């Protein structure tokens, strides 16, 4: 009886930690996509220079990389104790956000080839992740 309760508690804890890891990974996709949009926003104003200093002092580019740094920290916490096979498909959501935001912010037209391509890449990332145990 008490053994059964302990097992239930362990399962509950495992499920909770899994939900937490997936939520953190979801946060990573938002941070990553936002960072990407900021970098592109800044890069659009850097068309006449190739100077690394100009990039570093460009506020949108810099902020984009700060978001990237935050994403990396969150990523490390998310993968610490959850299987990559569960987290990989989540991270590929970034492609969806970037495509959607590119259409909204930069008025890019998403043709069916781009949508099919992104969907195929996401499927590929999902399949890759099936191999990862930890």
Which region among 4-12, 13-21, 41-49, 74-82 touches another protein (by CB under 8 A)?
41-49
- Residue 71 touches another protein, criterion: CB under 8 A: no
**Pick from 124, 118, 125: nearest CA to 95:** 118
- Spatial distance between the Cα atoms of 33 and 82, rounded to a whole number of angstroms: 22
Question: What minimum distance in Å lies between the beta carbon of 87 and another protein?
Answer: 14
Which region among 7-15, 23-31, 33-41, 73-81 touches another protein (by CB under 8 A)?
33-41
Indicate the DSSP class of residue 82: S
- Spatial distance between the Cα atoms of 12 and 87, rounded to a whole number of angstroms: 19
Residues 6+ apart with CB under 8 A from 110: 99, 102, 103
Residues 2-21 that bind another protein (CB under 8 A): none
Residues making contact with another protein (CB under 8 A):
36-37, 39-40, 42-44, 46-47, 50, 52, 55, 61, 65, 95, 98-99, 102-103, 106, 108, 110-114, 116-131
């Amino acid at each position: 009886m008490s053994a059964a309760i302990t097992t239930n508690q362990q399962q509950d804890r495992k499920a909770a930690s899994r939900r937490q890891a997936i939520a953190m990974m979801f946060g990573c996709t938002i941070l990553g996509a936002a960072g990407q949009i900021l970098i592109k926003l800044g890069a659009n104003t850097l068309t006449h220079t190739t100077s690394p200093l100009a990039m570093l002092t460009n506020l949108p580019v810099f902020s984009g990389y700060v978001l990237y740094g935050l994403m990396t920290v969150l990523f490390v916490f998310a993968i610490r104790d959850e299987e990559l096979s569960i987290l990989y498909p989540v991270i590929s959501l970034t492609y969806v956000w970037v495509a959607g935001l590119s259409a909204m912010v930069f008025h890019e037209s998403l043709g069916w080839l781009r949508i099919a391509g992104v969907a195929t890449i996401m499927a590929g990332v999902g399949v890759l992740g099936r191999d990862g145990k930890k």
